[in-house]
Amino acid sequence: MMKVPLMETNLNGRNPTKRGKVRDIYDVGDALILVATDRISAFDWVNPVGIPDKGKILTQLSLFWFEMFKGIVPNHLISANIEDFPSEFRENSEMFKDRSMYVKKCKMLPIEFVVRGYLAGSGWKEYKQKGTVCGIQLPKGLLEASKLPEPIYTPATKAETGHDENISPDEAGKIIGEELNKKASEIAIKIYREAHDYALSKGIILCDTKFEFGLIDGELVLADEILTPDSSRFWPVDQYEPGKNPPSFDKQFIRDYLETTNWDKNSPPPPLPEEVVIKTREKYLEAYTRLTGKQLC
Ligand SMILES: Nc1ncnc2c1ncn2[C@@H]1O[C@H](COP(=O)(O)OP(=O)(O)O)[C@@H](O)[C@H]1O
Ligand SMILES: [Mg+2]
């Protein structure tokens, strides 16, 4: 029997303060409880069917990376141990444990710190038209999925609704200040480089990723989730070939399935069939196990 995915959480009948596409967020004073549900989105639409344990996998993977990079920059984590959470969450531990992070509330910087090591997605699209990504000039002759000579910082604005907009690093500096922009983007690139090399040694290409930073009493803090399949593009190294769009490590079965339906991508998507859910769950678990060396479930 397949496990039941956790699609929504509530606290003794109360809804979270905010529901993102994937996460439920509870405001608990000067802190937040960030809960990764089992919701999954593809082509910007949350599917009515979830992937059992996906939220746990993403939270545990973020925690793994926060631990690895805590020497580079402070992060928002207070605790991921349910025993340390406010009592209402402890009393509902079946729902919240292993998928939630108790974090310091930050004043979030209104920029997505995207770092790209390869040409994909909106980066590839801009490069094809103008030879640049976020206004950064790149060498001629690169193909889709080509590795860039160096990883680059390609910021985007954080749109409350709709799509994020790519901007140049200079524009990001105008929005958050030169100094913060320089500091946060250098940290983002450094973490990307280390995570990329680490992941590669485990058979996964970290194509690009997005970080979010915030401030606490003026101090720069790494927040949100980091280096998960939801905030990054993971590619299987054995299927990588410049000139071709590599399959997504985690979402390939979902995208493939949705492409076989006649869904228009402008209305709620068709529910994923069970075999797609099972195969996708296996990929998420595989990514987790390859990267951390640990078994989750
Ligand atoms: N420490 C923090 N303090 C304040 N806001 C945070 C913190 N960490 C993450 N966030 C915000 O919480 C939200 C996480 O919800 P999520 O489901 O990822 O939303 P989205 O669908 O917008 O990605 C994001 O808006 C993120 O900026
Ligand atoms: Mg998010």
pLDDT digits (tens, 9 = 90+) for 155-170: 999 876 667 899 999 9
Q: Inform me whether the pLDDT recorded for 136 exceeds 90.
A: yes
Of 42, 74, 105, the one marking the end of a domain is: 105
Q: Does 8 lie in the same domain as 119?
A: no
Matching residue, tokens 């631990």: 67
List the CATH number of the domain containing 53.
3.30.200.20
Question: For residue 61, what pLDDT band results from cuts at 50, 70 and 90?
Answer: very high
Parent domain of 145: 108-239
Strand duo 232-236 + 204-216: pairing: antiparallel
**Overall average pLDDT of the 135-159 stretch:** 96
Token pair, residue 183, equals 């500091």
Evaluated on CA atoms 154, 253, 47, 214, the torsion sign reads negative
Ligand 1 pocket mutation pick from 22, 73, 104, 108 by most atoms within 8 angstroms of CB: 108
Ligand 1 centroid vs 17 CA: distance in angstroms?
12
Determine what percent of the chain is predicted with pLDDT higher than 70: 99
Token pair, residue 155, equals 């910021």
Q: Where are the alpha helices (DSSP H) in the chain?
A: 54-69, 87-90, 93-96, 121-130, 169-176, 178-200, 252-260, 274-292
Q: Does 86 lie in the same domain as 39?
A: yes
Ligand 1 surroundings by CB, under 6 angstroms: 20-23, 25, 32, 76, 103-106, 108, 212, 214, 223-224
Tens digits of residue pLDDT in 5-53? 999 999 998 999 999 999 999 999 999 999 999 999 999 899 999 999 9
Instruction: Give the CA angle between residues 249, 254, 259 to the nearest 5°.
Output: 120
DSSP, collapsed to helix, strand or coil, labels residue 104 as: strand
Q: Is residue 126 part of a domain?
A: yes
DSSP, collapsed to helix, strand or coil, labels residue 214 as: strand
Q: Are 94 and 82 in contact (CB under 8 A)?
A: no
Determine what percent of the chain is predicted with pLDDT higher than 90: 95
Ligand 1 centroid vs 158 CA: distance in angstroms?
11
